[in-house]
Amino acid sequence: MIATTPPPPYYAVIFTNIKNEDDEGYAQTASRMVELAMLQRGFLGLESAREEIGITVSYWRDLESIKAWKANAEHIEAQKSGNNKWYQSYTTRIAKVEREYSL
């Protein structure tokens, strides 16, 4: 599903990752993180795809909303699980969206 966002500017958090083969509990936690993010102030939407590389892009109204999401206690626990067992590697990028085009 493609996220519906307001007119720019807004922010995108781009999370790319390569998972380990043992991903027990990952799907349940990932689903919970989406539910939780949707409740956060400033959350605008989310897009995600997975093949060899997983890519999740979440959209936020402002940097303060992103900082609050990163500091969410349940999200911190999920990050620890990702670091300790689910991810072989990952990169998080934060970008300001200044323009968008769509069809």
The pLDDT profile of the chain, 103 residues, written as one tens digit per residue, is 789 999 999 999 999 999 998 889 999 999 999 999 999 999 999 999 999 999 999 999 999 999 999 999 999 999 999 999 999 999 999 999 999 998 8
Q: Give the predicted TM-score (pTM) of the model.
A: 0.92
Phi, psi of 12 (to 5 degrees): -120, 135
pLDDT in the model for residue 73:
96
Instruction: Judge: domain 10-97, CATH 3.40.50.300.
Output: no
DSSP the chain: -PPP-PSSPEEEEEEEEEE-S--TTHHHHHHHHHHHHHTSTTEEEEEEEESSSEEEEEEES-HHHHHHHHT-HHHHHHHHHIIIIIEEEEEEEEEEE------
User: Token digits for 21?
Assistant: 């083969």
The ranges assigned to domains in the chain are 10-97
Q: For residue 70, what pLDDT is reported?
A: 96
Give the separation between CA 98 and CA 10, rounded to whole angstroms: 7
pLDDT at 67: 98
